[in-house]
C-alpha cells in the first residue's frame, strides 16, 4: 500500500495541471490580441516604406521604355547636374583649396638659439680630445664636421647655416614638400603665423631635401676649394634646421567644405508648363534626370513635415493594405484554420513578406526601372515548402498587391511577379531534398526572363534594354532560390515549422535513436514501422501530410527504450513483469513512456511536430486493464488516475497516429484475422475513440474517419491475414493479447472482454 500511496502522490501534480474553461478562454483572447498586434505592427512597417511623394511615384520613367502619358512641369525648376559630372566638380573644388599649415615659433627660436651659441663660442678650442669637441659630437655632428667647425672657417660656416635656417623658416619648411603638393591643385599653401594667415607659393617652401641642396650650393660658392667645409655646412643645416610647419586638418576641411558648397548643383532650367516627356516617347537618361530634379524641387517646396497635405493619400494606402491583410487572414481562417490559430506561423509569413518589401524598398530607391528584382519568389518558395502550395499561392498574390500598393507599382510588376511566383510554387511541389532546389532555380530564372521579355514587348522597349533586364531577372531567380535554401533551416529552427526535407532526414532508420530502439526494444521498433505504414495511408486518405504521420510513428514510442521489458511486444516469455506490481505502479510505468519520449525528443532536438506526435498519440485514453484490476482491489479507485496525461490530438496527423497505434495492436490480437474481423475491429476502435472524446480537439470529421478506416483495412489485411496451420505447428491464442502490455497468463479470458480498450 506504501507503493500505492507514493504512486498516487506522483499522480497528484498531473491532476493540478488540468485547467478550467476560463483558462482556455484566456488563451484564445491572448491569441486574438497577438494577431491584432501583429497586424498593427505589420501595417506600421509598411507605412515606413511609403514613398515620400506619392503624387510623383505614379509617374515612373524607365530608361528604354515609353512613357505612359505626358509629363508637364507644374512649376519652374532647375535641373540637377549629371551625377558623374557633379562628382568631378566637387572633387576639383576640394583639390583647389590651399591646405592650411601653422608655423611653430618654438622650433624657430630653438634653431636660432642653437646657432647663436655656436657663433659666440670659441670654436678654435674645439679640438679632438677637448670638452668642446665632445659637445659638438653629442649634438649629432660627425667628427669631420666638428673638425671643420674648429678650423679657420668655423665661424663662417655657422653664419651661413644661420642665414639658411632663417630663410627656410621664414618661407616655411615642410616635412615632405612633394607629398604635400601632390594632395592639392592649389598654387601654394596658407600659413598661419601670429594670428595672420598668409599665402605661400610652392617655390618659397622648403623641406629637408631642398635644404640639403641649398646648403650644398651655398657652401660651394663660399668655399670653392674646401669641400670639407661645404660638407660641414650641409650637415650642420640638416642637423639643426627642423620643419616648422604643421598641417591643420580641421581648418583645411572647413575651407574645402565651403568650396564644395559653392559648386552649383544645377545646370539647366525647366520652365512652368514645359513638356518634360511626351506620351509614348522613349525615356532617356536626360528625361529621368529632369524627373528626379522635379521630385527634388517638389520636396524642397513641400517638406515632408507638412503631413496634412499627404495624410489623405497615406490613409488611403493604409486602408487598402488593411483590407488586403484582413482578406488574407480571412482566407486562412476559412481554409487553413491551424495556420490562422498559430500566431508564430502568422508571424513567419509576416517576416517573409516584410523581408520582400524591405528588399523592394532598396530596389525601388536604388534600381528604378528594375522592379522585377523585388524577390516575391522568395516568399513563394518558402511558403510552398513550409505551408504547402495553397497558402503559398494566396501569400504570393497578397504580397504582390501589397508591394504594388506600397511602392506605387503598376501592372507590369504585378503580372511579372505573379507569373514568377506561380512558377516557383509549381516547381517547389515535391521538393523533399536539398538537391531538389536545382529544378526551382532553373524554372524561376526562366519565368523571370519570360515575364520581363513579355512585358517589355508589350511596352515596346529597345532590344538591348530588354536583354539586359532579362539577364538581371535570371540572376534574381537564381539568387532568390539560393536565399530560400539558406533561410529555410533558420526559419524551421526559429518558428518550429517542419518541412518535408527535414522529415525525410528524420525518416532515416539509421539515425542513432532509431537504431537504439531497434536494438533495445525490437518489438516496439517493429510495431512503430507497422504503425508508420498505417498512419501514412490514413493521412494520405484525408489530405494530411503522409510523411509527417509516418515519421511521427517512427518516433512515437521512443520513450519505451529505457524500460522496454515492461511492454509485452518486447517480452520473450509469457510471464508479464506487471503481475507483481500494483495497478497504480503499472500505470505509472506505462504512462512514463510518453513523458520520457518527450524528454528524449528534446534532447535529440527533434522538431515540434514530432514532439507533438509523441505527446498526443495516446491522448487521455484509459488504461482499462489496470483500471479494472484496481477496481477489483479498491472499488473507490478513480478512473482519471488511469488515463494518459494528454494532450489530445490537435492535428490530423497525430489523430491518425493515435488510431493507427490502437488498430495495429487490436488487429495483432486477433486469432483468425479475416478481412471481416479486421474491419470489425477497426470500426470498433475508431468508434471507441470518438465516444471517448479523444478526437474532439482535432480537425477530423466523420467523413475523414470513414476514409481512414478504408485506408487501414487493406494494410492490416495484408499484414495479419490468416495463415494455413501446418501439422505440428502450435495453434495459440496468445496473439490476441499481444496488444495489452500488462497481461499475464491468468488474465487471458478477462482480456478478451477488454481488447477494444487496448
Give 689's pLDDT tier (boundaries 50, 70, 90): very high
CB 400 within 8 A of CB 421: yes
Q: Return the pLDDT at 666.
A: 85
Separation of alpha carbons 391 and 653, rounded Å: 19
Bond from prior residue into 647 cis (ω within 30 degrees of 0): yes
Encode pLDDT of 548-572 as tens digits: 999 999 999 999 998 888 887 777 6
Separation of alpha carbons 693 and 691, rounded Å: 5
Give 530's pLDDT tier (boundaries 50, 70, 90): very high
Separation of alpha carbons 707 and 710, rounded Å: 5
CB 545 within 8 A of CB 539: yes
Q: Return the pLDDT at 649.
A: 93
**H-helix or E-strand containing 335?**
helix 307-335
390-427 exposure pattern, b = at least 16 Cβ within 10 A, e = fewer = ebbbbbbbbbbbbbbbbbbbeebbbbbbbbbbbbbbbb
What cell was used for 676? Answer: 471481416
Structural domain boundaries in the chain: 10-48+307-497, 56-81+264-301, 94-257, 503-757
CB 329 within 8 A of CB 337: no
Q: Return the pLDDT at 631.
A: 85
CA distances from 283 to 63, 265, 447 (A): 5, 23, 26
Closest CA to 166 of 119, 122, 124, 123: 119
CA distances from 744 to 11, 426, 576, 578, 739 (A): 25, 56, 5, 8, 12
Question: Other CB atoms closer than 10 Å to residue 479's CB: what's the count?
Answer: 17
What cell was used for 254? Answer: 572647413
- Comparing 48-57, 460-469, 682-691, the range with the smallest average pLDDT is 48-57
Average pLDDT over residues 96-107: 90
Residue 32 CB partners (closer than 8 Å, separation 6+): none
Average pLDDT over residues 625-641: 82
pLDDT of 119 > 70? The answer is no
Separation of alpha carbons 707 and 719, rounded Å: 19
What cell was used for 297? Answer: 524641387
- The whole-model pTM stands at 0.56
Q: Return the pLDDT at 710.
A: 93
Separation of alpha carbons 447 and 413, rounded Å: 13
pLDDT of 27 > 70? The answer is no
CB 236 within 8 A of CB 141: yes
Decide: helix, strand or coil at residue 275: strand
The 3-state secondary structure of 86-150, one letter per residue: HHHHHHHHHHCCCCEEEECHHHHHHHHHHHHHHHHCCHHHCCCCCHHHHHHHHCCCCHHHHHHHC
pLDDT of 586 > 50? The answer is yes
Between 14 and 273, whose confidence is greater? 273
As a whole-number percent, the residues of the chain with pLDDT over 70 amount to: 82
What cell was used for 509? Answer: 532508420
Between 583 and 656, whose confidence is greater? 656
Q: What angle do CA 518, 645, 627 make, to 5 degrees?
A: 90
Report which DSSP code applies to 701: -
Determine the distance from the C-alpha atom of residue 114 to the mean position of all C-alpha atoms in its chain, rounded to a whole number.
68
- Comparing 121-125, 229-233, 571-575, the range with the smallest average pLDDT is 121-125
Separation of alpha carbons 235 and 237, rounded Å: 5
What cell was used for 296? Answer: 527634388
Between 28 and 91, whose confidence is greater? 91
Q: Return the pLDDT at 288.
A: 84
Beta partners for 77? Answer: 270
Closest CA to 355 of 374, 332, 369: 374
Place of cell 562628382: 87
Report which DSSP code applies to 247: E
Give 630's pLDDT tier (boundaries 50, 70, 90): confident
User: For residue 622, which phi and psi values (nearest 5 degrees)?
Assistant: -90, 135
Separation of alpha carbons 103 and 97, rounded Å: 19
Separation of alpha carbons 381 and 429, rounded Å: 9
Separation of alpha carbons 344 and 363, rounded Å: 29
* Pairing mode of beta strands 100-103, 245-247: antiparallel
CB 353 within 8 A of CB 345: no
pLDDT of 389 > 80? The answer is yes
pLDDT of 375 > 60? The answer is yes
Encode pLDDT of 157-196 as tens digits: 878 888 888 888 888 899 888 888 888 888 888 988 887 8
What cell was used for 20? Answer: 478550467
Q: Return the pLDDT at 135.
A: 54
Q: Return the pLDDT at 7.
A: 36
Q: Return the pLDDT at 539.
A: 93
Decide: helix, strand or coil at residue 526: helix
Separation of alpha carbons 414 and 54, rounded Å: 18
Residue 396: left (phi > 0), alpha (psi -120 to 50), or beta?
alpha
R_g over Cα of the chain: 44
Encode pLDDT of 713-722 as tens digits: 999 988 876 5
Q: Return the pLDDT at 51.
A: 66
Alpha helix stretches (DSSP H) within 649-701? 652-668, 675-691
CA distances from 12 to 8, 22, 480, 598 (A): 6, 22, 54, 20
Separation of alpha carbons 448 and 381, rounded Å: 14
Between 710 and 50, whose confidence is greater? 710
Residue 148 CB partners (closer than 8 Å, separation 6+): 154, 157, 228, 229, 231, 232
Average pLDDT over residues 30-50: 84
Separation of alpha carbons 587 and 585, rounded Å: 5
Q: What angle do CA 396, 401, 404 make, to 5 degrees?
A: 125
CB 299 within 8 A of CB 52: yes
The 3-state secondary structure of 234-249, one letter per residue: HHHHHHHCCCCEEECH
Q: Return the pLDDT at 63.
A: 81
CB 206 within 8 A of CB 234: no
Q: What angle do CA 447, 453, 457 make, to 5 degrees?
A: 145
CA distances from 93 to 86, 249, 259, 260, 470 (A): 11, 17, 6, 6, 41
pLDDT of 728 > 80? The answer is no
Which range among 123-137, 148-162, 485-499 has the greatest average pLDDT? 485-499
Q: Return the pLDDT at 427.
A: 83
Q: Return the pLDDT at 598.
A: 92
Q: Return the pLDDT at 415.
A: 81
Q: What is the mean pLDDT of the chain?
A: 79
Give 661's pLDDT tier (boundaries 50, 70, 90): very high
Encode pLDDT of 205-246 as tens digits: 888 888 888 888 888 888 888 888 888 888 778 878 888 888
Query: Candidates 2.60.40, 1.20.1280, 1.10.10, 1.10.3210; correct CATH number of 503-757?
Result: 1.10.3210
Closest CA to 3 of 402, 584, 447, 616: 584
pLDDT of 341 > 90? The answer is no
pLDDT of 400 > 80? The answer is yes
Q: Return the pLDDT at 634.
A: 81
**Helix crossing, 2-16 with 583-603: angle to 10°?**
50
What cell was used for 166? Answer: 632663417
Amino acid at each position: 500500500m506504501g507503493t500505492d500511496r507514493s504512486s498516487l502522490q506522483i499522480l497528484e501534480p498531473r491532476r493540478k495541471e488540468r485547467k478550467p474553461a476560463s483558462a482556455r478562454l484566456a488563451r484564445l483572447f491572448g491569441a486574438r490580441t497577438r494577431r491584432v498586434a501583429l497586424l498593427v505592427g505589420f501595417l506600421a512597417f509598411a507605412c515606413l516604406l511609403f514613398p515620400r511623394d506619392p503624387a510623383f511615384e505614379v509617374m515612373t520613367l524607365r530608361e528604354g521604355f515609353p512613357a505612359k502619358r505626358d509629363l508637364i512641369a507644374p512649376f519652374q525648376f532647375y535641373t540637377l547636374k549629371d551625377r558623374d559630372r557633379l562628382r568631378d566638380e566637387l572633387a576639383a573644388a576640394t583639390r583647389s583649396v590651399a591646405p592650411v599649415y601653422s608655423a611653430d615659433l618654438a622650433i624657430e627660436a630653438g634653431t636660432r638659439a642653437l646657432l647663436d651659441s655656436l657663433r659666440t663660442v670659441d670654436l678654435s678650442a674645439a679640438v679632438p680630445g677637448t670638452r668642446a669637441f665632445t659637445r659638438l659630437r653629442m649634438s649629432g655632428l660627425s667628427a669631420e664636421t666638428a673638425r671643420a667647425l674648429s678650423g679657420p672657417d668655423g665661424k663662417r660656416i655657422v653664419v651661413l647655416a644661420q642665414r639658411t635656417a632663417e630663410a627656410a623658416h621664414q618661407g616655411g619648411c615642410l616635412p615632405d614638400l612633394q607629398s604635400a603638393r601632390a594632395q592639392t591643385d592649389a598654387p601654394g599653401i596658407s600659413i598661419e603665423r601670429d594670428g595672420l594667415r598668409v599665402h605661400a607659393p610652392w617655390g618659397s617652401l622648403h623641406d629637408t631635401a631642398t635644404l640639403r641642396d641649398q646648403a650644398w650650393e651655398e657652401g660651394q660658392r663660399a668655399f670653392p676649394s674646401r669641400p670639407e667645409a661645404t660638407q660641414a655646412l650641409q650637415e650642420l643645416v640638416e642637423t639643426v634646421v627642423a620643419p616648422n610647419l604643421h598641417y591643420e586638418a580641421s581648418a583645411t576641411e572647413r575651407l574645402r567644405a565651403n568650396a564644395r558648397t559653392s559648386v552649383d548643383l544645377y545646370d539647366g532650367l525647366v520652365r512652368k508648363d514645359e513638356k518634360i516627356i511626351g506620351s509614348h516617347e522613349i525615356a532617356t537618361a536626360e528625361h529621368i534626370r529632369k524627373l528626379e530634379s522635379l521630385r527634388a524641387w517638389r520636396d524642397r517646396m513641400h517638406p515632408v513635415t507638412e503631413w496634412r497635405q499627404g495624410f489623405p493619400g497615406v490613409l488611403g494606402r493604409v486602408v487598402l493594405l488593411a483590407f488586403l491583410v484582413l482578406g488574407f487572414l480571412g482566407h486562412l481562417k476559412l481554409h487553413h484554420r491551424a495556420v490562422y490559430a498559430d500566431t508564430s506561423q502568422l508571424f513567419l509569413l509576416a517576416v517573409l513578406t516584410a523581408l520582400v518589401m524591405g528588399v523592394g524598398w532598396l530596389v525601388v530607391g536604388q534600381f528604378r526601372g528594375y522592379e522585377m528584382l523585388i524577390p516575391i519568389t522568395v516568399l513563394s518558395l518558402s511558403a510552398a515548402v513550409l505551408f504547402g502550395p495553397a497558402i503559398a499561392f494566396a501569400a504570393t498574390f497578397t504580397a504582390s498587391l501589397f508591394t504594388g500598393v506600397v511602392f506605387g507599382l503598376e501592372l507590369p510588376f504585378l503580372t511579372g511577379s505573379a507569373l514568377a511566383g506561380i512558377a516557383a510554387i509549381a516547381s517547389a511541389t515535391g521538393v523533399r531534398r536539398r538537391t531538389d532546389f536545382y529544378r526551382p532555380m532553373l524554372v524561376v530564372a526562366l519565368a523571370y526572363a519570360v515575364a520581363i521579355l513579355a512585358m517589355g514587348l508589350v511596352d515596346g522597349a529597345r532590344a538591348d534594354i530588354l536583354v539586359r533586364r532579362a539577364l538581371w531577372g535570371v540572376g534574381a531567380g537564381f539568387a532568390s532560390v539560393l536565399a530560400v535554401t539558406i533561410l529555410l533551416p533558420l526559419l524551421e529552427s526559429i518558428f518550429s515549422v517542419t518541412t518535408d526535407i527535414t522529415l525525410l532526414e528524420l525518416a532515416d532508420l539509421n539515425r542513432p535513436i532509431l537504431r537504439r530502439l531497434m536494438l533495445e526494444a525490437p518489438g516496439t521498433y517493429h510495431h512503430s514501422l507497422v504503425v508508420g505504414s498505417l498512419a501514412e495511408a490514413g493521412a494520405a486518405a484525408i489530405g494530411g501530410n503522409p510523411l509527417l504521420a509516418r515519421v511521427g510513428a517512427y518516433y512515437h514510442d521512443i520513450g519505451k527504450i529505457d524500460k522496454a521489458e515492461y511492454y509485452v511486444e518486447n517480452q520473450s516469455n509469457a510471464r508479464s513483469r506487471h503481475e507483481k506490481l500494483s495497478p497504480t505502479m503499472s500505470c505509472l510505468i506505462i504512462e512514463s513512456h510518453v513523458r520520457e519520449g518527450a524528454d528524449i525528443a528534446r534532447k535529440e532536438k527533434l522538431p515540434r511536430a514530432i514532439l507533438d506526435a509523441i505527446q498526443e498519440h495516446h491522448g487521455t485514453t484509459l488504461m482499462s486493464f489496470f483500471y479494472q484490476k484496481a477496481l477489483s482491489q479498491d472499488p473507490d479507485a478513480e478512473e482519471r488516475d488511469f488515463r494518459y496525461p494528454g494532450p489530445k490530438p490537435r492535428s490530423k496527423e497525430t489523430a491518425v497516429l493515435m488510431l493507427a497505434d490502437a488498430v495495429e495492436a487490436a488487429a495483432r490480437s486477433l486469432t483468425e484475422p479475416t478481412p471481416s474481423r479486421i474491419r470489425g475491429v477497426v470500426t470498433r476502435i475508431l468508434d471507441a475513440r470518438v465516444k471517448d472524446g479523444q478526437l474532439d480537439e482535432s480537425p477530423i470529421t466523420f467523413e475523414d474517419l470513414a476514409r481512414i478506416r478504408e485506408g487501414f483495412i487493406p494494410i492490416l489485411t495484408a499484414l495479419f491475414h490468416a495463415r494455413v496451420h501446418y501439422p505440428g505447428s502450435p495453434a495459440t491464442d496468445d496473439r490476441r493479447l499481444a496488444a495489452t502490455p500488462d497481461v499475464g497468463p491468468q488474465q487471458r479470458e478477462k482480456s478478451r472482454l477488454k481488447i477494444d480498450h487496448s
